[in-house]
Chain A
Amino acid sequence: MINIESAVKISFRALRVNKMRSALTMLGIIIGVMAVIAMLAVGSGARKAIGDSIAAMGSNLLIILPGATTAGGAHMGSGSAPTLTLMDTEAVQKECPAVLDVAPMHSGVAQAVFGHQNWTTQITGSTPDLLMVRDWKMQEGRNFTDQEAKTAAKVALLGQTVVGNLFGDMDPVGQMIRIKDMPFLVIGVLESKGQSMMGQDQDDAIIVPFHTAQKKLFGVPFPGLVRFTMVKAKSAELLDQAENQITKLLRQRHHIGPKQDDDFTVRNLTQIMETFQKAVSIMTILLGAIASISLLVGGIGIMNIMLVSVTERTREIGIRMAVGAKIMDIRLQFIIEAMALSITGGAVGIIIGIVISELIARFSALPVLVSIWSILLGFGFSALVGIFFGFYPAYKASLLNPIDALRYE
Chain B
Amino acid sequence: MSLIKFEDLVKIYSLGEVSLKALDGISLEIDNGEFLAIMGPSGSGKSTFMNIVGCLDKPTSGSYYLDSIDVGTLNPDQLAEIRNKKIGFVFQGFNLLSRTSAIENVELPMLYNGLSAKQRRDRALEALKSVGLEGREHHHPNQLSGGQQQRVAIARALVNNAPIILADEPTGNLDTRTSVEIMELFVKLNREAQITVVLITHEPDIAKFARRVIHFRDGRIISDEVKSQ
A359 surroundings in chain B (CB, below 8 A): none
A6 surroundings in chain B (CB, below 8 A): 111, 117
Question: What is the 8 Å Cβ interface bit string for chain B, positions 86-99, against chain A (1 contact, 0 not)?
Answer: 00010100011101
Q: A325-B80, A403-B56 are in contact. Are A3 and B114 (CB under 8 A)?
A: yes
Among A318, A321, A403, contact of B80 (Cβ-Cβ < 8 Å): A321
CA distance A322 to B87 in the complex (A): 9
A170 surroundings in chain B (CB, below 8 A): none
Across the interface, do B76 and A324 meet the contact criterion of CB distance under 8 Å?
no
A243 surroundings in chain B (CB, below 8 A): none
> Size range of the interface on B?
20 to 34
Chain A residues 11 to 30 lying within 8 A of chain B, measured CB to CB, are 13, 17
CA distance A326 to B56 in the complex (A): 12
B81: Cβ under 8 A from any A Cβ: yes
Chain A: residues with Cβ within 8 Å of the partner, total of 24
A329 surroundings in chain B (CB, below 8 A): 111-112
Across the interface, do A319 and B95 meet the contact criterion of CB distance under 8 Å?
yes
Which chain B residue shows the least CB distance to A322?
A: B89
Across the interface, do A327 and B89 meet the contact criterion of CB distance under 8 Å?
no
B17: Cβ under 8 A from any A Cβ: no
Across the interface, do A327 and B57 meet the contact criterion of CB distance under 8 Å?
no
Across the interface, do A315 and B56 meet the contact criterion of CB distance under 8 Å?
no
A310: Cβ under 8 A from any B Cβ: no
A402: Cβ under 8 A from any B Cβ: yes
Which chain B residue shows the least CB distance to A313?
A: B97
B45: Cβ under 8 A from any A Cβ: no
Nearest-Cβ distance from residue A198 to partner chain B, whole angstroms: 63
A365: Cβ under 8 A from any B Cβ: no
B156 surroundings in chain A (CB, below 8 A): 323
A316: Cβ under 8 A from any B Cβ: yes
B51: Cβ under 8 A from any A Cβ: yes
Nearest-Cβ distance from residue B196 to partner chain A, whole angstroms: 18
Nearest-Cβ distance from residue A327 to partner chain B, whole angstroms: 6
A2: Cβ under 8 A from any B Cβ: yes
The 4 A-B residue pairs with the shortest CB-CB distance, nearest first, are: A324-B84, A323-B109, A324-B112, A326-B77
Known contacts A324-B113, A326-B76, A326-B77; 13 further A-B pairs (Cβ under 8 A): A13-B100, A17-B99, A319-B96, A319-B108, A321-B56, A322-B89, A323-B156, A324-B81, A324-B160, A327-B76, A402-B56, A403-B57, A406-B95
Residues of B within 8 A of A (CB): 51, 54, 56-57, 76-77, 80-81, 83-85, 89, 91, 95-97, 99-100, 108-109, 111-114, 117, 156, 160
Residues of A within 8 A of B (CB): 1-3, 5-6, 13, 17, 315-316, 318-329, 402-403, 406
**9 A–B contact pairs at CB < 8 A?**
A1-B114, A2-B112, A13-B100, A321-B83, A322-B56, A323-B84, A323-B108, A324-B84, A326-B76
